[in-house]
Amino acid sequence: MNPFRRVLPATFLLVLIAVIGVVGYEVIEGWPWLDSVYMVVITLFTIGFGEVRPLSPVGRFFTMALAVLGVGTAVYAAGQAVEVIVEGELSGYQKRRKMARRISNMRNHYIICGFGRVGHQVAEAFRAANVQFLVVDPKPETATELEPLGVSYILGDATSNEALEEAGIHHAKALIACSDSDVSNVYITLSARALNPNLYIVARAGLRDTEKKLAIAGANRVISPYFMAGMRMAALATRPVTSDFLDLVTHGGQVEFNLHEIPVGPASRVCAKTLAEADIRRHSGAMVLAIRKKDGVFDLQPRAESRVDEGDILVVIGTGDQIKLLEQMVK
């Protein structure tokens, strides 16, 4: 809401008093409208000029009432306007308008619903990967935290269609439902799937029973942080070296390795070729770990004679530069 709307009631009342004053002088004193308007202006703005014409006793009482009511209302309206400016509401309103325009122009972005512990980690990962995203969360402290970082946000309930539509859900690439409440995540998933049937949805489940509900609600992937944490701790205890290697690959370390997925388009240089013919490793340095075929089946041990077709997705590992070279090959 425009902060100057706070001034509207007082401004409307001031205009009403001015109109009453003009009509009053015309009726009581029989003055022409120009003299009446002039008298009202010098009275309300306390200019201190003399009266336009001699006033009758009734006219003087009317002028005193006009001065008291009109000047008081004018001072109140001016105070409200100054308060809006001093408190920074005007600059805040302009920032929100600017952010709203930026959000409306987003395309193929990611929406994080819920900015709790999981939401913080997702946002940090997106920022590190330079991914375009925004956060939907009702807590006021979310704005305090995200605004200095330049991250777009919407203070609202992500379970409502209005908040999701404001977040540009019809143009979004994916949505992450990571509220601390399983019930909220189910509602978010239901609303998001209804608004955008093609949206990719990843949802958080605190309880194992909620995973099935989220899948029924329309989530493409359901993640249980507690289940994953337990599996991770067991892996660290039983296979520490393997876990360290996966940490190096997925989270970075001394070597900047990344796992990446690259779709194969119809005009790609590697399309309709075997891995040996494409020679991806020699031209880019990246290594193909798996190939997901168009029908969803994974080739988990691709060999030299494995064929790459249009619509396949290559799961590769490499440095940032190697991934960029491979993306140029696959385009």
Q: Pairing between strand 221-223 and 200-204? A: parallel
Q: What is the span of the domain harbouring residue 14?
A: 3-86
Q: Is residue 74 located within the same domain as residue 163? A: no
Please give the share of the chain, as a percent, with pLDDT higher than 70. 92
- 4 has pLDDT over 90: no
Quick one: 197 and 244 in the same domain?
no
Whether residue 234 lies inside any domain: the answer is no
Last residue of some domain: 186, 209, 229? 229
Residues 221 and 312 in one domain: no
Question: How many Cα atoms within 13 Å fall on the side-chain side of residue 118?
Answer: 22
* Under 8 Å between Cβ of 162 and 154: no
| Confidence tier at 252 by pLDDT (50, 70, 90) | low
pLDDT of 94 > 80? The answer is no
* pTM > 0.75: no
Q: Quick one: pLDDT at residue 53?
A: 84
pLDDT in tens, 152-196: 999 999 999 999 999 999 999 999 999 989 999 999 999 999 999
In this structure, the answer to whether residues 197 and 253 fall within a common structural domain is: no
Q: Does a structural domain hold residue 184?
A: yes
Tell me if 330 sits within 8 A of 262, measured CB to CB.
Answer: yes
Mean pLDDT of 196-211: 92
Q: Judge whether 282 and 288 are in contact, CB under 8 Å.
A: no
Q: Identify the pLDDT of residue 250.
A: 63
At residue 225, the pLDDT reads: 83
> What pLDDT does 63 receive?
87
For residue 242, what pLDDT is reported? Answer: 78
Please name the residue ranges forming H helices in the chain: 8-28, 33-44, 57-86, 89-104, 117-128, 140-146, 161-166, 182-195, 208-217, 225-238, 240-251, 275-278, 280-284, 320-330
Q: Do 261 and 171 belong together in one domain?
A: no
pLDDT band at 14, cuts 50/70/90? confident
Query: Does the pLDDT at position 133 exceed 70?
Result: yes
Q: What per-residue confidence (pLDDT) applies to 255?
A: 53
pLDDT at 86: 63
Same domain membership, residue 148 and residue 34: no
Does residue 43 fall inside a structural domain? yes
91 falls within a domain: no
Same domain, 291 and 186: no
Same domain for 128 and 224: yes
Q: Are residues 224 and 288 in the same domain?
A: no
Contact 189, 215 (CB under 8 A): no
Provide the pLDDT for residue 144. Answer: 87
Residue 38, helix vs strand vs coil = helix
Amino acid letter, residue 260: H
Number of domains in the chain: 3
Whether 94 maps to a domain, the answer reads no
- The mean pLDDT of 295-321, rounded to a whole number, is 88
Under the banding of pLDDT at 50, 70 and 90, the label for residue 92 is low
Same domain, 48 and 159: no
Domain final residue pick, 229, 251, 272 = 229
Residues 140 and 39 in one domain: no
Q: What is the CATH number of the domain that holds 218?
A: 3.40.50.720
Question: What pLDDT shows up at residue 93?
Answer: 62
CATH of the domain at 310: 3.30.70.1450
* Rounded average pLDDT over 202-223: 91
Measured CA to CA, the distance from residue 166 to residue 78 in angstroms comes to 34
> Which of residues 51, 86, 121 is at a domain's end?
86
Residue 178 lies in a domain: yes
pLDDT of residue 217: 93
Over the stretch 57-67, which tens digit does the pLDDT of each residue have? 898 888 889 88
Residue 216 lies in a domain: yes
Do residue 37 and residue 124 come from a single domain?
no
Residue 100 lies in a domain: no
Of 160, 157, 154, residue with least CA distance to 179: 157
Are the CB atoms for 319 and 257 separated by under 8 Å? yes
Mean pLDDT of the chain: 86
User: What confidence tier does 88 reach under pLDDT thresholds 50, 70, 90?
Assistant: low
